[in-house]
Chains A and B, each alone.
Chain A
Amino acid sequence: MTKKEWPLYEVFIRSKQGLSHKHVGSLRAADETMAVENARDVYTRRSEGVSIWVVESKNIFASDPSEADSLFEPADSKVYRHPTFYDVPDGISHM
């Protein structure tokens, strides 16, 4: 007998055309079709969305927070990747 709880889905909503989908929360649903409908009913009651993605939470593979130092800090020292690193003479515009 299937007494188990419905799987958990993560919900991503595009709030308007031209923007990316953004994570808004999660919900439970028996299948993807239901997950999209539930997401519509739960997360777009105030016209918050024009498109919905759902993905079963167990399918998300995330970076490990304990490795955050080695994953992300090395980028901090590469200041030359940012335009503000460079000197531009006064009077130059459109650059």
Chain B
Amino acid sequence: MKEINIEELEKRFQEKIDADIRIEPKDWMPDAYRKTLIRQISQHAHSEIVGMLPEGNWITRAPNLRRKAVLLAKVQDEAGHGLYLYSAAETLGADREETIDDLHSGKAKYSSIFNYPTLTWADMGTIGWLVDGAAIMNQVPLCRCSYGPYARAMVRVCKEESFHQRQGFEIVTKLAQGTPEQKAMAQDSLNRFWWPALMMFGPSDADSQHSEQSMKWKIKRNSNDELRQMFVDVTVPQAELVGLTIPDPDLKWNEEKGSYDFGEINWDEFWQVVSGNGICNKERVEARRKAKENGSWVREAANAYAAKKAQRKAS
């Protein structure tokens, strides 16, 4: 095979991307593309897995049998989503165990929303409604991401995710139409999760270090601010419909641009929580680390048994 230089390979690669031809695992890709994807997909996977914890909290306290089953199924889906995503990262050569170790050591990040505590049952509703809602907003464009395995994982995730948002909104609706205590519980929950939900879209475009190249590679299809605006525009009427108030005095409809203006996000809080100073950061990572540690004898045993079985079969 004749030698092709890097510039030529990169040029052909970008042509494929521009022509909307998907990149598949064994195709040539620039190192930086691979690294960006590994970082993004594993962060995404970690978010799913850490995201099991705040809701997992309430499975044993769910108020009735139906809610318990739904919440269990939902949190289980998140484990599944994490798994699909770790699988996608493995196609790029990112070993799952190493990826997870990066989470445990604090090297890898995950969505900072999960560092906020779930204090009441209403948070199960709000998380489904806002957090899964924001996640869907982020993920739908990723179904067209240039990297095949990631895009396919996202198709699967999005299909499953739509029940998550609905079950959350159902909880919120029920509370909003319930007793004064229940309505207050829902409003309090919205007050606590609204701003963190807006932060889920990441830093504003001006401060987003990875955005531009990711857009060019079609790993990302919309900017953080675009997605955030879309989220606000669809969510505000939903809150109005159930009679809850968005905790933002600056929120108002802007006729001219045909969307809502909203207040300034507290970016200090965002960066503090991202860098480990949220109320639950330590507990979340610790819970995951413990799960892995407590499971290590189990995983070893299964390996040892598989080896024995293979040996017995061979002899």
Contact = CB atoms under 8 A, between A and B. Distances in A.
Direct contact of A and B (CB under 8 A): yes
Contacts of B309: 31
Interface in B261-308: 299-300, 302-307
Contact of B305 (A5, A30, A42, A62): A30
Most buried by A among B95, B299, B307: B299
A25 B25 CA distance: 13
Contacts of A81: none
Interface string A7-34: 0100000000000000011111011001
A30 B300 CA distance: 9
A2 interface: yes
Query: What is the interface of chain B mostly: helix, strand, loop, or mixed?
Result: helix
A27 B88 CA distance: 10
Interface residues of A, number: 22
A87 interface: no
Contacts of B305: 30-31
A6 B302 contact: yes
A73 interface: no
B304 A5 contact: no
B302 A45 contact: no
B40 to A, nearest CB: 18
Name the 9 nearest CB pairs between A and B, nearest first.
A30-B302, A31-B306, A2-B303, A26-B87, A30-B306, A5-B97, A65-B27, A65-B26, A25-B87
